[in-house]
Structure 1
Amino acid sequence: MVNFQSKVALISSILFFSGCSSSPTPSKQPVNQTSTTTLSQHDLKIQQSFLKVHHRWEGVPYRLGGTSFNGIDCSAFVQVAYRDALNVNLPRTTLQQSKIGSSVKYNDAAAGDLVFFKTSRTTRHVGVYLGNKQFLHASTSRGVIISRVDNPYWASKFWHFRRVQSPPTFN
């Protein structure tokens, strides 16, 4: 018979390996948060809304299952970011988030689209695309940060983009 500690260890392992994962080698190239050369005015406003969220959450550590400033995982962070930046409610998990909205081709991605990665056979990671090859996410190694989609690590793990809904209208 399996004892209680073995069951806890098994469940912990399953949760660990099925959650978000993000451990790229840190890029030597600084993230450019102000480059707007390819962004429309509308995308720029969306980007700015998400950058306000980043400012509040920057550096908050990653914690699997976390949903607060004490620690947050990738899908919870995306859920909070969408709520705070665009007043849009998203599902809680990466799997649920990967099924909403519509698929977007890589070259058609716009600020506010969800970006998904397959970091292992069973693990997925999600972030919010900011435009200019940048995305906002909760990294397992560095907490809430902005990374580049074309970073060799992320480029090798890229899965797809999804557009949640028609972009919001700004006055």
Structure 2
Amino acid sequence: MAQPIVKIGGHEDPFAMEKEVYWYLNQLGIQENIHLTVIFTSIIPKGFDGLTVSRKILGNGYQVLMVRINKALVERQQQKVLAHEMIHVKQYAKGELKLLKSNTVVWLGKKHRLSKIHHRGPWEKEAYRNDHVLAVQQRQKPDITTLASFKSKADSLVYMREVQH
């Protein structure tokens, strides 16, 4: 059975961040074949706290997604931005949102032109409507077993040994 693959970059605690990302994948019901890279960086377009892009489909069927989060933000804001971007990850993974060209997307089967007011698009409205609640849930009830639920039994055993030490 295929499952999401997650890589973290630019974060001071990549293991903790990986657990957080797997928690979001679980909460959002994302079990599709995605290769997700989450990068905390100062290289981000002006006016953005975060962004999610769909790169391509690999030969093995995995969709490559990249989330970029402004590392200059305070931790609480980074958490909210991550929640917001994970909603976009869900939209891409489930085929709700597709990028056609640099200025055109398909949202739930309908074409939309991107503009400087991208935050008004219906895909953004869904993310803004749900990001705060999702971030609060993650902070209040983190599930340490979530990462293990996405890994094979062998990986889970390694993970559990690391948690115990």
TM-score, normalised on structure 2?
0.24
Query: Whose RCO is larger (CA < 8 A, sep 6+)?
Result: 1
TM-score, normalised on structure 1?
0.23
- Which structure has more helix as a fraction of its residues? 2
